[in-house]
Amino acid sequence: MSVSMYQIAVPSFQKHLHALDGILDKAAVYCTARKIAPETLLTARLYPDMFSFTRQVQESCKFAALSVQRLASVDVPAEADAEKTFDELKSRIARTLDLLASVKPEQMTGSEDRMLAIKVGPNEMTFSGRDYLLHFALPNFYFHCATAYGILRNNGLDIGKRDFMRRT
């Protein structure tokens, strides 16, 4: 039995976006309990040349949405990356989850062999749908999710692997 592109992509994105949503709740509680300004965590980075926590969450949502857009050939509204609060980030995640829930498996049928050309910075990259999902989209998505988690953990939030691997 083969595994479909939908089965690989959509549940993976959903699971980790739900996990991000959960750690956002914990981050908000942590800030209140410790009397820390939320901006402290929202703007935190693991290293000065890396994206902030907020941007890591935005990029996670972007990779999930754009991947589904490309593989299911659906229109996805562009997001402005204007979130500045935990609640705004939670809304962004919710919109992304709504998009994922709206995609039907048959919309992604055949996408594994379709060629995709995407612009990455100044370069254009060409992939089969399968290679795009497995070797570009999912690794980038997981990188941003893991980095968001790492930023919060590095800043003292009591979260662990179970939070990252949360079941939906």
Chain position carrying tokens 């914990």 = 26
Q: Is residue 18 part of a domain?
A: yes
Residue 167 is predicted with a pLDDT of: 63
Q: What pLDDT does residue 1 have?
A: 67
Query: What does the longest C-alpha to C-alpha distance in the chain come to?
Result: 53
Query: Residue 166's pLDDT is what?
Result: 79
| 16 found inside a domain | yes
Instruction: Please check whether residue 79 lies inside any domain of the structure.
Output: yes
The enclosing domain of 96 has a CATH number of 1.20.120.450
Question: Comparing 26 with 2, which gets the higher pLDDT?
Answer: 26
The model's pLDDT over 72-129, given as tens digits with 9 standing for 90+, comes to 999 888 899 999 999 999 999 999 999 999 999 999 999 999 999 999 899 999 999 9
Average pLDDT of span 125-136: 97
Burial code (b: 16+ CB inside 10 Å, e: under 16) for 41-71 equals bbebebeeeebbbbbbbbbbbbbbbbbbebb
In a domain, 31, yes or no: yes
**Per the structure, how many domains does the chain have?**
1
Q: How far is CA 64 from each of CA 40, 126, 156, rounded to the nearest angstrom?
A: 26, 18, 28
Q: How many CB atoms lie within 10 A of CB 115?
A: 10
pLDDT in tens, 34-71: 999 999 999 999 999 999 999 999 999 999 999 999 99
Residue 168 lies in a domain: no
Residue 48 covered by a domain: yes
Q: How does strand 123-128 pair with strand 115-120?
A: antiparallel
First to last CA, the chain: 25
Q: 87 lies in which domain range?
A: 5-163
13 lies in a domain?
A: yes
Examine residue 32 and state whether it is found in any structural domain, yes or no.
yes
With contact defined as beta carbons under 8 Å apart, do 96 and 64 qualify? yes
